[in-house]
Chains A and B, each alone.
Chain A
Amino acid sequence: MKHRSTSEQHHGKKPRVPAAAAATSTSPQDGMEDKAATNPRELTQNPLKKIWMPYKNGLPEKHICQRKVCMTNCPTLIVTVGLPARGKTYISKKLTRYLNWIGVPTREFNVGQYRREFVKIYKSFEFFRPDNEEGLKIRRKCASAALNDVREYLTEDGGQVAVFDATNTTRERRETILEFAEQNGFKVFFVESVCEDPDVIQENIVQVKLDSPDYTNCNTEEAVEDFMKRIKCYENSYETLDEVLDRDLSYIKIMDVGQRYLVNRVLDHIQSRIVYYLMNIHITPRSIYLCRHGESELNVKGRIGGDSGLTIRGKEFAKKLSHFIQEQNISDLKVWTSQMKRTIQTAEALNVPYEQWKVLNEIDAGVCEELMYEEIQKNYPLEFALRDQDKYRYRYPKGESYEDLVQRLEPVIMELERQENVLVICHQAVLRCLLAYFLDKTAEELPYLKCPLHTVLKLTPVAYGCKVESISLNVDAVNTHRERPANVDVSRMSEEALLTVPSHQ
């Protein structure tokens, strides 16, 4: 998500570039290794995340690092390549969303947007004609401005990955970018989208170009015609990534919307993850249904976690869910549950095969399992306050954090990307994490997303994003959503802490 915690900064690690000389492991206390061996540093456990860290003179040392996806100091510049309407922006946005969700601060830079800011009104495709000198000048300027912002994001704003979204169809333009990256110590990974299927291109144009600010004042036919001419402007000078000429570059070439991929010189972990992700996404229309289990016995008692069964109302929801699903007339629906009784009971009512995933289990509340918020406040007031201070990163003692949950759910997201129609019956915290991925919510927002019982969320990918329909199945249930209270200080009083606890038995 969009953050960079200073306590987990990475010090002095050499990036794994192919030409880098093998180096001995860096020691934070150069020349003091023997001393370290005989006098190991004391460890203290960070109260929020429960991470063991060394400390000196009573203060935690900012030395150790928790495993993060990006373990290098070397930021990465992802550069899209391809003619217009080949899905570059679709891929850029999706990739950015995914990387942020798994905890890699990423931002996309769409050169078209810079152009729109500069040239307030788009007249016609003529702007893109290769002999339009003035147009070219402006476009070069926009690319530079975007690269400048990239530099700022990656060097000063804590960004780890920047996605440079433009056609970048000439070798010359790509050379410029490569030089820029080398000057700044960024790794470059190209993502080229190649497609000649006229149906796919037409569909792209209809889905995303017609709504573009460029075409607000045109009718459909005019817009399509102009856009086709725009594409033509690029075609003659298009130099695709070449197997021989570009053999030293790192890239993936996506052909025909994912039928075929050419992958060249993957340098590091993050590039490997990006390739895996890109190879798993598709654009076949489908819907993802997310819901929680029916109301459970512990829900009505206001207790968190545990592994109880459904209440009568919960069972009624399961029945209604079954009717709802049937009415939706979904072709080839896959149904997934966790391995907890309440989701399985809910799925049972559907009378269809379902798949149990342990990783869909609710967040482990550790020592707070099966407690009411009132009991947590009574027995662990400090923990309760810390949780309110940073609900995303807070880890229950002997339990998990939302941050841990996201990591554990990554394979689910990957498989959801591969699949088509899926119904996921899960839990409140889990549903928040999944929803945050699809709706691009930040780490701060994620733990407070509203995911009430007995409500189905239907997500349908549309254009660059996701349409959400919230369907309540009209079966009453207890409210389990606790808002962040006004006072999150450890010195607060019980009443202040319990202000936002929803009512229960």
Chain B
Amino acid sequence: MELPQLEHTRLRRHDSAASVPQFCNSPTMIVMVGLPARGKTYISKKLTRYLNWIGVPTKMFNVGQYRREAVKIYKNFEFFKPDNEEAMKIRKACAAAALKDVALYFTKEQGQVAVFDATNTTRERRAIILSFAMEMGYKVFFVESICDDPEIIAENIRQVKFGSPDYADRDIDEAMEDFTQRIDCYRASYMPIDDEKDRKLSYIKIFDVGSRYLVNRVQDHIQSRIVYYLMNIHVTPRSIYLSRHGESELNLLGRIGGDTGLSPRGQKYASALATFIKGQKIIDLKVWTSHMKRTVQTAEALGVQYEQWKALNEIDAGVCEELTYEEIQENFPEEFALRDQDKYRYRYPKGESYEDLVHRLEPVIMELERQENVLVICHQAVMRCLLAYFLDKPADELPYLRCPLHTVLKLTPIAYGCKVESFFLNIEAVNTHRERPLNVNITRNPEEALQTVPDHI
């Protein structure tokens, strides 16, 4: 007899999404404002990634993309000249199409936040958006990026515009020249959000890549979190190193959780990690570990200062702590199946879920955003959550991300995303990655359940 699928979600009836209490049913539109090359798309993408990670369904709508669909080939900046009537028509139509999709996202796809990424530099355009939102019952929060530092703007153009489809066939100087003129097209009609006239609006103005902020009328929780996030991110180049602890005694035995020390190979890894880190010649590296012995032991080998975070502890497997998968199958076959059905939301009895983990890790992510070079020595499930944040992996992929032992992942932000380099430090270790088996039904037999369990002692 098939038991109800959602039994494991028995307590979720009024559950808040990951870490954001759902106080309002009104969806929110985040509207970007600013001249080209001011980081609007960078902010939009990053914010979208962050909100999705913490469990707020968010989608980005880049009007430039709509324009590229409408006008297949981009000729030059003349398209953006304020007196180019035909182009104006097209651009208005693109904005309208994007707004329509925003409405669809909210009504048909249960979206909670839409990031409307365009210049929106005139009061007229913003008024259209505001009346649209009012009509539909959406909240609006503006994010304006103001920057007049020519070096920053030039760097922006270099980093992201050259890679744009608009400039695929140009050389760098041509592209730079054209883009500069493009910016000029907007400049004359640019009306920044006015602190007097717009005092009833909700907005944040970001000046000079974050050295100063003006925040007006934050309406609710989600806007408050957005402001906090935007005030903590920076664009200083740096790298984040993620690694698990060295192989542990329980790893060898195929047991999950617990608080054991490193195996001999794990110790070797710790030394290898020390050598690797030294070789990277990192400036002012911060090292973070969890409170569990195996990460602390790993950090010890580095011979440097480190900070212990309880929030970095491995997922709590509750009643399944220190069991092998075989034992879990034997003693809790239904739980084991439920976990395979929805590994992200499944919570171990008296334990945690990946979803809980994400919530617990949010302060870690916030501090990682504030910091520069950091090495985080953590655990498999924790590392999957952190990695999913940086690489924008959705909830159903997150619990299956590959994070093998004795491998360092070096993440370096570039353009709109994150470069990942993987370094296996050549110390053998057990595999702890269990793929989702084919049969996740509670009626399955043990062999089917244990099919994907990696080998162990």
A380 touches B (CB below 8 Å):
no
A272: chain B residues at CB < 8 Å are 228, 231-232, 370
B178 touches A (CB below 8 Å):
no
Interface pair B296/A269, CB less than 8 Å apart: no
Interface pair B305/A25, CB less than 8 Å apart: yes
In the complex, what distance in Å separates the CA atom of A270 from the CA atom of B257? Answer: 33
Interface pair B306/A64, CB less than 8 Å apart: yes
B356 touches A (CB below 8 Å):
yes
* Of the residues A27, A38, A50, A359, contact of B304 by C-beta under 8 Å: A27
Closest approach, in angstroms, between the C-beta of A353 and any C-beta of chain B? 7
B310: chain A residues at CB < 8 Å are 67, 404, 407
In the complex, what distance in Å separates the CA atom of A41 from the CA atom of B270? Answer: 12
B212: chain A residues at CB < 8 Å are 243, 247, 262-265
* Of the residues A11, A65, A279, A358, contact of B356 by C-beta under 8 Å: A358
B303: chain A residues at CB < 8 Å are 27-29, 32-33, 36-37
A26: chain B residues at CB < 8 Å are 304-305
A344-B11 contact, Cβ under 8 Å, with A37-B275, A272-B370: yes
A355-B293 contact, Cβ under 8 Å, with A67-B308, A279-B224: no
Nearest B residue to A251, CB-CB: B212
Interface string of B271-297 (1 = CB under 8 A from A): 100110010001111111001110011
Contact-residue size bin, chain A (C-beta under 8 Å from the other chain): 35 or more
* Of the residues B215, B278, B350, contact of A261 by C-beta under 8 Å: B215
A378: chain B residues at CB < 8 Å are none
A269: chain B residues at CB < 8 Å are 367, 370
Closest approach, in angstroms, between the C-beta of A32 and any C-beta of chain B? 7
In the complex, what distance in Å separates the CA atom of A41 from the CA atom of B299? Answer: 10
A54-B370 contact, Cβ under 8 Å, with A25-B284, A67-B308, A339-B11: no
Nearest B residue to A404, CB-CB: B310
B22 touches A (CB below 8 Å):
yes
* Of the residues B15, B300, B350, contact of A356 by C-beta under 8 Å: B15
In the complex, what distance in Å separates the CA atom of A411 from the CA atom of B311? Answer: 14
Interface pair B227/A11, CB less than 8 Å apart: no
A13 touches B (CB below 8 Å):
yes
B419 touches A (CB below 8 Å):
no
A40-B14 contact, Cβ under 8 Å, with A45-B293, A263-B215: no
Interface pair B305/A262, CB less than 8 Å apart: no
Interface pair A71/B215, CB less than 8 Å apart: no
A467 touches B (CB below 8 Å):
no
Interface pair B215/A415, CB less than 8 Å apart: no
| B contacts with A, residue count (CB < 8 A) | 63
A266 touches B (CB below 8 Å):
yes
In the complex, what distance in Å separates the CA atom of A354 from the CA atom of B195? Answer: 38
B16 touches A (CB below 8 Å):
yes
Nearest A residue to B285, CB-CB: A25
* Of the residues B217, B283, B287, contact of A260 by C-beta under 8 Å: B217
Interface string of A306-339 (1 = CB under 8 A from B): 0100000000000000000000000000101001
* Of the residues B16, B231, B291, contact of A275 by C-beta under 8 Å: B231
* Of the residues A37, A71, A261, A265, contact of B307 by C-beta under 8 Å: A71
Interface pair A418/B221, CB less than 8 Å apart: yes
Interface pair A415/B221, CB less than 8 Å apart: yes
B96: chain A residues at CB < 8 Å are none
Interface pair A52/B296, CB less than 8 Å apart: yes
In the complex, what distance in Å separates the CA atom of A471 from the CA atom of B276? Answer: 62
A37-B217 contact, Cβ under 8 Å, with A24-B283, A25-B285, A334-B23: no
Closest approach, in angstroms, between the C-beta of B345 and any C-beta of chain A? 13
Interface pair B218/A279, CB less than 8 Å apart: yes
Name B11-56 residues within 8 Å CB distance of A. Answer: 11, 14-16, 19, 21-23
Closest approach, in angstroms, between the C-beta of A337 and any C-beta of chain B? 8
In the complex, what distance in Å separates the CA atom of A236 from the CA atom of B286? Answer: 48
In the complex, what distance in Å separates the CA atom of A259 from the CA atom of B286? Answer: 37
B216 touches A (CB below 8 Å):
yes
B400 touches A (CB below 8 Å):
no
In the complex, what distance in Å separates the CA atom of A156 from the CA atom of B227? Answer: 36
Interface pair A357/B21, CB less than 8 Å apart: yes
Interface string of B194-207 (1 = CB under 8 A from A): 01000100000000
In the complex, what distance in Å separates the CA atom of A266 from the CA atom of B308? Answer: 25
A22 touches B (CB below 8 Å):
yes
In the complex, what distance in Å separates the CA atom of A24 from the CA atom of B304? Answer: 10
In the complex, what distance in Å separates the CA atom of A243 from the CA atom of B271? Answer: 51
Name B324-370 residues within 8 Å CB distance of A. Answer: 350, 356, 359, 367, 370
B359: chain A residues at CB < 8 Å are 358-359
B453 touches A (CB below 8 Å):
no
Interface pair B284/A40, CB less than 8 Å apart: no
Interface pair A353/B307, CB less than 8 Å apart: no
Name B193-243 residues within 8 Å CB distance of A. Answer: 195, 199, 211-218, 220-221, 224, 227-228, 231-232
A59 touches B (CB below 8 Å):
no
Residue from B11, B23, B261 whose CB has the most chain A CB atoms within 10 Å: B11
B432 touches A (CB below 8 Å):
no
Interface pair A52/B293, CB less than 8 Å apart: yes
B278: chain A residues at CB < 8 Å are 33
Nearest B residue to A8, CB-CB: B308
Nearest B residue to A44, CB-CB: B293
Nearest A residue to B271, CB-CB: A37
* Of the residues B271, B288, B292, B301, contact of A52 by C-beta under 8 Å: B292
A218: chain B residues at CB < 8 Å are none
Interface pair B305/A65, CB less than 8 Å apart: yes
A486 touches B (CB below 8 Å):
no
A245 touches B (CB below 8 Å):
no
B292: chain A residues at CB < 8 Å are 52
B307: chain A residues at CB < 8 Å are 65-67, 71
A43 touches B (CB below 8 Å):
yes
B309 touches A (CB below 8 Å):
yes
Interface pair B213/A263, CB less than 8 Å apart: yes
In the complex, what distance in Å separates the CA atom of A165 from the CA atom of B447? Answer: 69
In the complex, what distance in Å separates the CA atom of A126 from the CA atom of B354? Answer: 64
Closest approach, in angstroms, between the C-beta of A205 and any C-beta of chain B? 26
* Of the residues B15, B286, B300, B350, contact of A40 by C-beta under 8 Å: B300
Interface pair A43/B11, CB less than 8 Å apart: no
B22: chain A residues at CB < 8 Å are 355
A118 touches B (CB below 8 Å):
no
Closest approach, in angstroms, between the C-beta of B53 and any C-beta of chain A? 16
Interface pair B370/A40, CB less than 8 Å apart: no
B119 touches A (CB below 8 Å):
no
Closest approach, in angstroms, between the C-beta of A203 and any C-beta of chain B? 21
A307: chain B residues at CB < 8 Å are 350
B407 touches A (CB below 8 Å):
no
B267 touches A (CB below 8 Å):
yes
In the complex, what distance in Å separates the CA atom of A498 from the CA atom of B19? Answer: 40
In the complex, what distance in Å separates the CA atom of A36 from the CA atom of B304? Answer: 9
Interface pair B304/A25, CB less than 8 Å apart: yes
- 13 CB contacts below 8 A, A to B, read A11-B305, A25-B304, A27-B304, A40-B300, A45-B293, A64-B306, A64-B308, A67-B311, A260-B215, A262-B212, A339-B15, A358-B356, A369-B350
Known: A66-B307, A264-B213, A334-B23. 14 other contacts (CB 8 A): A23-B283, A27-B303, A36-B303, A37-B301, A38-B271, A40-B270, A40-B271, A66-B291, A67-B307, A243-B212, A264-B212, A279-B215, A280-B224, A357-B16
Question: Residues of B at under 8 Å CB distance from A?
Answer: 11, 14-16, 19, 21-23, 195, 199, 211-218, 220-221, 224, 227-228, 231-232, 259, 261, 267, 270-271, 274-275, 278, 282-288, 291-293, 296-297, 300-311, 321, 350, 356, 359, 367, 370
Q: Give 4 nearest A-B pairs by CB, closest first.
A: A36-B303, A22-B283, A261-B215, A263-B213
